[in-house]
Amino acid sequence: MVITPVHYIVAPLLAAFAIPLLSKIYKDAARVVPGIVLFYNMIISFVLMRQVLKHGMINEIIAGWQPPWGINLVLTPFTGFLAAMVSVMGFIIWLYGFRFKRTLKGGVVKYYEILQMMMIAGSIGVIITGDLFNMFVFIEIVGITAYSLTAFYRDRNGAEAGFKYLLLGSLASVFLLLAILLIYTQTGTLNMAQIAERMPEVSSGIKITALIFFLIALGIEAEMFPLNGWTPDAYEQAPSPTSATFAAVVSIAGIYALVRVLFTLFDVSGVHQYLIVMGFITMLVAEIAAISQKNLKRMLAYSSIGQVGLVLIAFGIGSQLAVFGALFLMLNHAVIKSLLFMTGSYFIYNSGEKRLEGLNGMHKRLPYVSALFSLAAFAIIGFPPFSGFWSKFYILIAASDQKMIFLIIGILLVTIIELVYYLRLVGRIYFAKEEMQDIAHKPSVNALVAMSFLALFIILIGIYPDIITGYINQAAAALLDKTHYIQQILANK
């Protein structure tokens, strides 16, 4: 069997339909099968990445229907890298959440892993599709699964958060659809390469209007301020593995969509400045909000938004090095933030409360998890020698190349805010007085393995970043080389 990008999509879809049947035979199918699928995705992402790096871009046309009518899946070093990242994270999060809530009874619980799997598959779809409408569809898949996962605990708060997400998500859909419509009427195609090719002919008024619709719609998905009102609630109310998925997978897909549209489709100037300014505002507001949070998961959610802001800034700078830094940061964010959510989840599980007081003196109960949490906190602040440092460092170098001294100072000042609240958390874990008597809920083996893997990654990359920089470099180059992308896809036609 030849492995092609379509496997990314087909396997989860098939599994999603098969699982209800299989559960008749094997009770745990709903939990095990998604893991197998995600593992398979991970494997093929490695295989495909290898292939892409060796032979160049893969452009798979589904069922022989040529663009613009058909659907095509594109795997460049850029999308391949992101797809690999997302699928690896997907599998690790599954591994972590394998025994999650297995004792809980109820409707949604049964389908939890399926939804989770579909969310990850949808995200991969967003990343690898070469077709605008198809992207919309995948974004909807991600959205719908995400809404239902947000409302997983069917209580008041969960429902409210899910509803907020739904509200903004549907706004995003509306505007996305509007934008796609505008583009389609002007260019007569939905294939991104073709749109990009024909874009110069579109009148600038319509082009910019479409761009603004895209910015609004994808800004919501990418958690850009002031469109990210759903984020803190969703991250807080969703079950922790889902929160980790939001950070490690969904937000990555959102950023990807935004960047792909802005970088490949449009040739409008001012976009970069827009990204830098909005990215900075996003980051600043998020970190300011984070520092005064009283709830652990909300704090982490705001911190995620902050990271996204930095990623947007880096994309806004737009040089090869900056995009390199942005991708590196996306990777770090995915790894570190999901580790934070994973470990944080155990703190909440143990103390039974989401407020920060629940962390007090946790190291006595969960020494290993506490150490991992501290490690992740240090990494996300950007202390060397952990991986977070390098991404920040490259972004700063890229900014210095553009002489953006105030941007650099701004980023670093915001980092200080970040440092304050993360270190407060670490201090709480290690040095606060605790008042608990009951037995600790020790993490299960699979969760430990997942978390240790992420921690190992943080340290390894931190000490020797060369493991990964080669890939990221090629990915960054692939994103920036727009003409190559267009030519390759159109030549394949």
Partner 1 sequence: MNPIINILLVLFAGSILAFGIDSINRKWTGWVAFLSVLLATFNLLSQTQASDVVFSLGGIRLKWGLSSLRLYFTYIIIILNLLAFLYSIDYMKGKARLGYFYSAFLLTVLGMFGVVISKDFVSFFIFWEIMTWSSFLLIIYNAYYKIKTEGLKYMIFSAIGAYAMLTAIVFVYHFYGTFDIATAIDQGVFSFENHIYIPLFFALAFAIKAAIMPFHIWAPSAYADSPMSFTSVFSGAMSKMGIFGLLLVLSTYYALHNPQAYIFTQILAWLGGITAAMATIYALIQTDAKRLLAYSSISQLGYIVVALSTGTKLGVMAALYLAVLHAVFKGALFMVAGAVEKQAGTTDMTKISGLIRKMPWTFFVALVSVIALTGIPPVGGFVGKWLLYEALITESNNYFLVIVIFFSSTAAFLYAYRFLFGLFLGQEEKETENVKEAPVKMLIPMLILALISIVTGIMPGLIFKPAAAAMREIGFENVNWEMTSLSNVWGNQTDLSLIGLFIAAVFVLIFIFLTFKGKKNTRYVGTKDISSSGELWKEGENWTFQQDFYKPFERAAAPLYKYKMNKIWEDFGNALEAFFNFFRRIYTGNGQTYALYVIGFLVLLLLFKDYIFR
Query: Which residue ranges make up the site for partner 1 (CB under 8 A)?
Result: 160, 163-164, 167-168, 171, 175, 204, 208-209, 211-212, 215-216, 219-220, 226-227, 229-230, 232-233, 268-271, 273-274, 285, 288-289, 291-293, 378, 383-385, 389-390, 393-394, 396-397, 399-401, 403, 405, 408-409, 412-413, 415-417, 419-420, 423-424, 427-428, 430-433, 464-466, 469
- Render the burial of 49-71: b for 16+ CB within 10 Å, e for the rest: bebbeeeebbbbbbeeeebbeeb
**Measured from the CB atom, is 209 or 488 closer to partner 1?**
209
- Least Å distance, CB 400 to partner 1, is 4
DSSP for 376-419?
A: HHHHHHT-TTSHHHHHHHHHHHHHHHTT-HHHHHHHHHHHHHHH
- Least Å distance, CB 209 to partner 1, is 7
**Measured from the CB atom, is 70 or 410 closer to partner 1?**
410
- Least Å distance, CB 87 to partner 1, is 25
- Render the burial of 113-142: b for 16+ CB within 10 Å, e for the rest: bbbbbbbbbbbbbbbbbbbbbbbbebbbbb
Q: At what angle do helices 387-401 and 405-431 cross, to 10 degrees?
A: 160
**Measured from the CB atom, is 188 or 226 closer to partner 1?**
226
- Least Å distance, CB 369 to partner 1, is 15
Cα 296 from Cα 434, distance rounded (Å) = 17
Name the token pair of 328.
């590196």
**Measured from the CB atom, is 274 or 453 closer to partner 1?**
274
Other C-beta atoms closer than 10 Å to the C-beta of 11 total: 18
- Least Å distance, CB 347 to partner 1, is 16
Q: Which residues pair with 131 in a beta bridge?
A: 191
- Least Å distance, CB 55 to partner 1, is 25
**Measured from the CB atom, is 31 or 272 closer to partner 1?**
272
Q: Where are the alpha helices (DSSP H) in 98-131?
A: 107-128
- Least Å distance, CB 206 to partner 1, is 11
**Measured from the CB atom, is 51 or 209 closer to partner 1?**
209
Residues contacting residue 46 through CB under 8 Å, at least 6 positions apart: 84
**Measured from the CB atom, is 31 or 333 closer to partner 1?**
333
